[in-house]
Amino acid sequence: MKAIIQKIIQLRNPNFKFDEALNSFALFQFIWIQCCCMLRGMSVMLFFRNPKGMLLGKGVIFFNTPKVKWGKFLRLGNQVYVSALSKNGIHFGDNVSIGAFGRVIVSTSLNDIGDTIVIGNNVGIGEFAYLGGAGGLEIGDECIVGQYLSCHPENHNYQDTSISIRHQGVSRKGIKIGKNCWIGSKVTILDGVHIGDGSIIAAGSVVNKSFPENSIIGGVPAKLLKSRTNE
């Protein structure tokens, strides 16, 4: 039984193997939860969409579903909210996983709709993430991300002191995170930042400027600590 379930999981993650210490009760409970998630995933068929092996936790909500595209085996944890109020929609690649209570939101206002959110293949993002897409957000393939990631590709204008900041509009440059990055928990990434491929961001960092590939960065605000290539 365990071997059969392992082969099924390997369709999503070819390198997966059950730990030898895994007990039967935990395995049974795991199978039950995954079956429930798969049944919830089939609910997108009500919108005439192919679930492609989608696994949905409890309370997952899609807003503006026609603007959401996904690849194989999308996994969304409990209470994840996906809002594709946008110009160019939300695109999930294959084998994307977003932890419980995540928020994937391009726009919150009907009068200034944002751009897009694009998440590549084999990306895993921890619980309580906030992914904004007003100015455009792109996360490359093979990225692994801890809990509480916060991405904000938008800034409020504030130069005119005679007008309320909320009435001065916004500026948008976008955020791009390269492939194969490791982002620790509670990282905040601000508008205009480009993170190069293969970079590592330390937990708790606030990133307000761009860094080249293979950078190891950390701090508030984040700075270059060293390069993975020792250059």
Catalytic residue numbers, as ranges: 156
**At what angle are helices 24-41 and 2-10 packed, to 10 degrees?**
40
Q: Which of 33, 51, 29, 31 lies closest to 42 in space, CA to CA? A: 51
